[in-house]
Amino acid sequence: MNLVVRRVGQRIAAAGDAYMRQTGVSTTATSTAILAYVARHENAAIADIAQALGYSHQAVAKAVEAMEKAGLMQSSASREDLRKKLVALTREGRQDAELVERIAQRAAIVFDEVFAEIGVDVFKALRSFEDALDRRPLVGRLLEHETGDKRSRSRTKKT
């Protein structure tokens, strides 16, 4: 399952990047969530972005650095805590964020069409899957089955 999810994610990201380039967006598809978050939360801390989006601090910092080099974002140290890096959009970043918002609306329509075609809302199913694993992690579920397997093997050996 991991391989299929990863492969599909890579295909979505590659198609998104190609579409972004065609529409003039500077941001990569994988960084659009960060761009959109900063557009809604001006002067957001990298740690807050990471927590809100479920990304690692390092992944957000790397994406922000790339967007700074592209002229889309600027960062500064917090006045209250110099260790905290705050991020804001530049004028070009705001323009990209507006384009990304329109693209996201188109993408939602396209995904809905694909989900209707296959008869499954994959996003909704994956979120439900994620919620189920939050309630009972996969490791625990696997261990439960291992314990059951050990019991049935020991019963088989006794008979």
Per residue in 71-80, pLDDT tens?
Answer: 999 999 878 8
Q: Kindly state whether residues 6 and 56 are assigned to the same domain.
A: yes
Per-residue pLDDT tens digits for 94-120 = 999 999 999 999 999 999 999 999 999
CATH assignment at residue 102: 1.10.10.10
Q: Kindly state whether residues 41 and 23 are assigned to the same domain.
A: yes
3 state SS for the chain: CHHHHHHHHHHHHHHHHHHHHHHCCCCCHHHHHHHHHHHHCCCEEHHHHHHHHCCCHHHHHHHHHHHHHCCCEEEEECCCCCCCEEEEECHHHHHHHHHHHHHHHHHHHHHHHHHHHHCCCHHHHHHHHHHHHHHCCHHHHHHHHHHHHHHHHHHHHHC
Taking the whole predicted model, whether its pTM rises above 0.95 is answered as no
Q: Kindly state whether residues 112 and 137 are assigned to the same domain.
A: no
Q: Kindly state whether residues 110 and 125 are assigned to the same domain.
A: no
Q: Kindly state whether residues 133 and 158 are assigned to the same domain.
A: yes
